[in-house]
Every structure is written in structure tokens, then in C-alpha cells.
Structure 1
Amino acid sequence: MYEDSQNEITRLVVRCAQLLLAYGAESDLVEEISQRLGKALGIASIELSISSNALVLTSLVHGRCITTTRRIRAHGINMMVICELQRICILAEKGIYGANEVRRRLAHISPKTYPAIAVVPMIGLSCASFCHLFDGDMMACLITFFASSVGMIVRLFLASRHFNLLVNFSLTAFVITAIAQIGYLGSLSETPQAAMAASVLMLVPGFPLINAISDMVKGHMNVGISRWGHATLLTLASVIGITIAMQMGGIF
């Protein structure tokens, strides 16, 4: 393999790893896909070092090493991107995709999201369902649906304006809790506490916490601790918003 070919394939593999990390893949999967894609394209060995905000990749062909570094900028969790990258790797292993086709596919990957008109009511319905599981009455479920739906609108609005994620979670939690307190006014609901508890469940950072535990269990301690810390900060930001709203509403 010529040096130019090794350079090009190394760039393709590190780009794939960069996208996997940016969109929420666990570290073990990133290593596996990178090594498989590199070997499918003719690289003898791929070694990858992952940190909280960067990765270092080394390719080896006939004793010649090429090392490159990339910075990781999180773009939010998007499983469509991760599944598409896995599909590219599988097709490269089967010989259907060569380096040129892999390059073209990577260049055209873009995250797809559901429209807000579909996301907002589904979030409201899911939180209302949790309220029902918490033995909330019908009025509490309706309050939960309304509060979490408005909260999701606020969250999407702040995200579209590129607010810091911690500020986003804190403001969203404040708005949700402020609306959920309606159940305490005039005894509209016999279980207002269920509405307040269920409304903010949309802010639980479940996926980052799962990835953090998975990384630490599989030996990627640095990345796992980093993800755990980020999820903890998101939880703390939500708690601050909830606490402020409850203090202002006189719930305490």
C-alpha cells in the first residue's frame, strides 16, 4: 500500500471514529468499528486512544505508522448516524464499498431528527404515562402532559439558539416545575406531587449514564468518568431549576 493510500484510509477511519463519539457511541464500539473498517480497507492494524474530548489514531502498514489526532465536539445523541456508520463498516467488510465509496458515504452523513410537532406531544404523553404509573389521578396526568410538553418546547427553543446545555436543562426544569405546581392551586388534583415528579423525567440523562457505566465496566475509565461527570452536572442543573421554582411557588 502506498503512503498516500494509507494517509487517505487513516483519515476515513478517524473520521468514522470521530462521528461515532460525537453522536453518543460507547468507546468499545468506536474501537471495534474503527479496527474493522481499517482492516476492511487494507490497514494491517488500527490502534485508538480515546479521551474525554479527543482521540488519537495510529495506522500500521508494512511497519509504517501514521498517527493523527482529532478533537471531539459532541452533537447530541443520534442513533441513526451510529447505525449508518456500522452499515458502512459492514458493507466495506463484504467488499461492496471501497475507499472512494466510504469517503462519499461519510461526506453525506447528516443527522436526522423527528419534527417538533411529533416530539412534543410524545414527550408529554410519555411523562403523563409515568404520572399514571405513580398513581396520579386524571387531572394530575393532564397537568403532567401540559407541563412536560411546554418544557419540551422550551428545551428545543433553547437548543436551537445554542444555549449551554446546563442552562438549557436548568431553565427547562424551572418552567416544567412552575407549571406542574398548578395542581396545588385550588386543589385541582388530589395527587399534585405525582405530576411534579413525573413532569421532569424527560430531563433524566439516561443514555449518558448508561454509556458512562458501560465505558467504565469495559475499561475506558477516563471516558466513563467524564461522561458520568457530565450527566451528573446535567442532573444538578435540573435540580437547581426545580428547587428555584418550588421556592418561588412556596411548595417548601
Structure 2
Amino acid sequence: MQSTKLVSNILDIGEMLLVSGAEVSRVEDTMIRLGTSYGFKKVDVFTITSTIILTIHLPNDEIITQTRRIKKYNTNFEKVEYLNQLSRDICSKKVNISKVEKEIRNIDKTKNYPKVLHLFSYIAISFAFSVFFGGIFSDAVASGITGSILFILLELLNKVNMNNIVISLLSSTLTALSAVTLSNIGIGSNIDKIIIGNIMLLIPGIPLTNSLRDLINGDIISGLLGLLESLLKAAAVALGFSLILIPMGG
């Protein structure tokens, strides 16, 4: 019973790492180190972007396997840092099960940055990229407004159980429509300069980077899956903007 709880706790840590933005190699290495620190005879971990399979071999030759299905991601590097520290503590001090469970619950309750700060960052990033790529002040203002609209749309769409690629398509389409509308009413004059900041917000940078790191580390399957998902999201973003801009001759 205790070994089953330990396996479940190790899976909890691995799942939280993966969901929070850690690369597959980090997840697998952490879980193997945790299992070894608790005296398991052998630890086998298989991780891809949507599934974690953990098998441990006990000293008495009993084998326990548990699987965890990953459906949603929510990047939070603060959680990754806390989980890394917890893993180090477990490996060096062999923390007891009850304390590990308590720490996992506390880390899971870690709140992300306030939504107001997220909204401000969307506006600031959109504004800055519009200026960086040659937009005038009114273009940057329009880009900041569409950035705020994009944030609200993503918040609403993420509450619906919808595929991430579809979310990328819908958010880019509605953002492009907002940019065109603002331009038509006189806020901003260069639509391409307005939407460039919003495009940068929708590019799946972290999944793409992690997939390349996984490929370099030899995790071919997870790397290819992450790369394919990133490319599909990027294609959905491009398609969403194209659906509005091409009929206009943009």
C-alpha cells in the first residue's frame, strides 16, 4: 500500500512538471531519481506530451505500473521551480510520504500571476512589437487594444473543453477581425503592423522549444509529437488571420 502511494506521488510530481512547462527529459529524470531515492529496485518511465507511464520494481520483485493521462497544459515556471526543489529535498532527505503529499497539495495550489498583470502584459507586448516592426503610434495603440481582446478571448475559450488547435484558429480569426474593425474606424492605419504583436502572442514558443530540446536529448517520439503540435498551432494561427485578411486583399 505504501509503495502504491509512493508511485502515485511520483506520478503527481511528474504530471505537474509536464503540465507546468517542463520538458520530457526533465520529467523522466526527476521521476527516476525519486524512485531510486525511495529504494525501488528499478524505475522505468515513458513520457510523451499526453501520457506518463511509470513502472517500478520493488526489492521483493513485485511490479507496480501506473499511468497518467495529460489533457491540459498551464505553463507555470514557478511550480516547476517548487517541484524541482521538492525533488531535491526528497532525494537528499528521503521525506516521508505524508509530508510529500502535503507539499504536492501546497504546490498544486500555487496561483499564477494575477489576471490583471496578464492582461497588461498582452497589451504591452502587442504595443511593443507593433512599434518594433515599424508601426506608428496609432498602430501600436490599436495593437494594444486587440491584445486585450485576444486575452479576453483566450480566457473564455480556455474555459470550454475545446482542442487547443481550434482555440488558436478561433482566437486568431477574431483578433484579425478586431484589428480590421479598429482600422476601419480610424484607430491605426497599417493592419499588418497592428496584428504583428498579436501573432507573436499566439506563437507556441515554449512547446516548440521543449520539443526541440526533447529531440536533441534523444526523446524522439515526444519531440516529434510536440513539434507537430506546435506546427499545427502555428498553421491554425496563420489560417485564422488569413480568413480575414485575404478577402480584403491584405
Give TM-score scaled by structure 2 length: 0.88
Equivalence for 1:175: 174
Structure 2: distance between partners of 1:96 and 1:71: 24
Counterparts of residues 158-197 of structure 1 (less than 5 Å): 158-182=157-181, 185=184, 189=188, 191-197=190-196
Q: Which amino acid aligns with 2:97?
A: A
Root-mean-square deviation (Å):
2.3
Q: Deviations over 1:75-117 (max 9, x none)?
A: 3222233222212111212317222211222244235223322
Q: Offset of 1:187 from its aligned partner?
A: 7.2
Equivalence for 1:55: 52
| CA contact 2:57–2:64 (8 Å) conserved in 1 | no
Q: Secondary structure at the match of 1:58?
A: strand
Given the superposition, is the C-alpha separation of residues 186 and 23 from structure 1 closer, same or farther in structure 2, using an over 3 Å criterion? closer
Following TM superposition, the consecutive aligned residue runs of length 4 or more in structure 1 with deviations greater than 4 angstroms are 186-191
Q: Which of the numbers 92, 95, 104 marks the counterpart of 2:93?
A: 95
User: Can you give the 5+ residue segments of structure 2 that lack an aligned partner in the other structure?
Assistant: none
Q: Offset of 1:200 from its aligned partner?
A: 2.0
Q: Deviations over 1:132-179 (max 9, x none)?
A: 111211111101101111111111111123333222211211122122
Equivalence for 2:84: 86
Q: Which of the numbers 28, 36, 40 marks the counterpart of 2:37?
A: 40
Q: Secondary structure at the match of 1:161?
A: coil
Given the superposition, is the C-alpha separation of residues 70 and 187 from structure 1 closer, same or farther in structure 2, using an over 3 Å criterion? same
Q: Deviations over 1:210-229 (max 9, x none)?
A: 01100011010111111111
Structure 2: distance between partners of 1:85 and 1:102: 11
| CA contact 1:37–1:92 (8 Å) conserved in 2 | yes
| CA contact 1:6–1:43 (8 Å) conserved in 2 | no
Structure 2: distance between partners of 1:33 and 1:161: 32
| CA contact 1:56–1:67 (8 Å) conserved in 2 | no
**7-16 or 216-225, which moves further after superposition?**
7-16
Q: Offset of 1:66 from its aligned partner?
A: 2.0
Given the superposition, is the C-alpha separation of residues 117 and 186 from structure 1 closer, same or farther in structure 2, using an over 3 Å criterion? closer
User: Can you give the 5+ residue segments of structure 1 that lack an aligned partner in the other structure?
Assistant: none
Q: Deviations over 1:195-244 (max 9, x none)?
A: 22222211000000001100011010111111111111111211121011
| CA contact 2:140–2:188 (8 Å) conserved in 1 | no
Q: Which amino acid aligns with 1:212?
A: S
**158-167 or 169-178, which moves further after superposition?**
158-167
Equivalence for 1:251: 249
Counterparts of residues 86-165 of structure 1 (less than 5 Å): 86-95=84-93, 97-108=95-106, 109-165=108-164
| CA contact 1:54–1:69 (8 Å) conserved in 2 | no
Structure 2: distance between partners of 1:183 and 1:133: 20
Equivalence for 2:2: 5
User: What percent of counterpart residues are identical?
Assistant: 18
Matched, 1:16 2:13: yes
Q: Offset of 1:48 from its aligned partner?
A: 1.1
Q: Offset of 1:19 from its aligned partner?
A: 2.4
Q: Which amino acid aligns with 1:56?
A: I
Q: Which amino acid aligns with 2:30?
A: I
Q: Offset of 1:191 from its aligned partner?
A: 4.3
